[in-house]
Chains A and B, each alone.
Chain A
Amino acid sequence: MSQKFSATLYYLAWAIGSLLYTGITLLSPLQPGSNTYHLSLTQIHLLQVTIILPVVAIWLAATYGAVSFRKYAAGINSSPDGAALQSVSLGLILLVARIITSSLVDSLRPVASRMGWFPAWTIATRYVIILLTLVSFYLIFQGARRLYLTLQNPPSIRATKWVALVAVCAATVTYVWALLQNPYRNFSSDALNQSFYLPDWAIMLSVVLIFALCWYLGFMAVAYLRAYSRYTKGVLYQRALMPSALGVGAVVVFSIALQLLGAVAPALRSFRLGGILLLLYILIIFYGIGYGLIAYGARRLQMIEEVKG
């Protein structure tokens, strides 16, 4: 029996998140010393709008993609593939929630700094983001693995596991190296500096290792989905599934790239403003394209479930 599905709640969450983000970003007081490029207040607000609009638009695209996939999965919930796809779809929803929450948290930095509870706020919100990341990646991994196990003759992915481990080790080493370049990682009296407000051992155990686990789950989810989309029965089903499988892969890989870039963010201050904006827009666009592919594939799969001549 399929589940009834309502997308209203998800779009309402997007709308509330977008309004909060816009309001907080435009109304937050500027941090002393944050005007690195010596812009006027009007220029700063215009710059903020040029960032807010595409970000909110991409959030909408991501919400649409995740909701489309969730709607499809809910419709076939009682079947083995449906149950697995439900897990993937919930993970995708949580990834959207993660990116919105992360932006809201960032926009509240000036407020937290002014209120004097910046360190506690930083620690608490960082762990909320880490938890969202871990749960979303685990759900996508679990769903992808369950799909893979429905295959009658699943191909071996032992070699892929080793490739994933090597990739995760390389990413973790890069992340740790970037962290160690940040002299303010343990403490900073200035909210402009990126700090964890944690000792190194706590950062390694509760941030680095958890992110490494997330990245491994993410890479393996992509591997399982790729194997499922290539070896599942049904030539028309494969063609319909492929865009979504590619989209999930893109979203997972982009999320990992975003987390890695977050570690090297302090180094980006020496870049030119145009370069930073270009990098930001490229990352955001890739994220949106990933969810766009997911939505396109979900609609094709939905057609298979609805068509009756």
Chain B
Amino acid sequence: MNETLYTKVVSLTEQYLGPAAPRFIDRHIIFHLDKKPQDITRDDLEKLKTWTSVSLALLTSDREIIDEFAAKLTQL
């Protein structure tokens, strides 16, 4: 179940970061949630959304993309 959620998160992120998505998500889960990427749960999604949104804001000034990603992440 947890692995499926992780796969969904990576799959969503791939729409924005392509092949860099797994590395991006793994880094954020390990650094900010202090757990193995595959152990991510729905309770972690809000915190993950916050930190990934901050990171995306450093990569692009396109607010639309950042908000779209955040909205899709919470709907997973």
Contacts and interface: CB of A to CB of B under 8 A. Distances in A.
Interface stretch (B1-9, B15-23, B35-43): B15-23
Contact of A308 (B16, B17, B18, B32): B32
Interface residues of A, number: 21
Nearest to B28: A308
A80 B27 contact: no
Given A79-B23, A235-B65, A304-B59, A309 B52 contact: yes
A150 interface: yes
A76 interface: yes
B19 A236 contact: no
Interface in B21-76: 21-24, 27-28, 31-32, 50-52, 54-56, 58-60, 65
Contacts of A81: 19
A271 B61 CA distance: 50
A76 to B, nearest CB: 7
B48 to A, nearest CB: 10
Given A303-B58, A307-B59, A237 B51 contact: no
Given A304-B20, A305-B23, A233 B15 contact: yes
A182 interface: no
Nearest to A2: B23
Interface residues of B, number: 25
User: Chain A interface secondary structure, helix, strand, loop or mixed?
Assistant: helix
Given A150-B19, A304-B20, A309-B28, A236 B14 contact: no
B59 A303 contact: yes
A61 to B, nearest CB: 25
B20 A309 contact: no
Main secondary structure of the interface of B (DSSP, over half): helix
B58 A307 contact: yes
A234 interface: yes
Given A79-B23, A236-B60, A309 B54 contact: yes
Interface in A59-107: 76, 79-81
A309 B66 CA distance: 13
Interface in A270-305: 301, 303-305
Contacts of A113: none
Contacts of B51: 308-309
Contact of B20 (A150, A234, A239, A308): A234
Contact of B16 (A79, A80, A234, A301): A234
Contacts of B21: 233-234
A232 B17 CA distance: 10
Interface of B: 14-24, 27-28, 31-32, 50-52, 54-56, 58-60, 65
26 contacts: A76-B23, A79-B19, A81-B19, A232-B19, A233-B19, A233-B21, A234-B18, A234-B21, A235-B15, A235-B16, A235-B65, A236-B59, A236-B60, A236-B65, A303-B59, A304-B17, A305-B23, A305-B24, A307-B24, A307-B55, A307-B58, A308-B28, A308-B55, A309-B54, A309-B55, A309-B58
Interface of A: 76, 79-81, 150, 232-240, 301, 303-305, 307-309
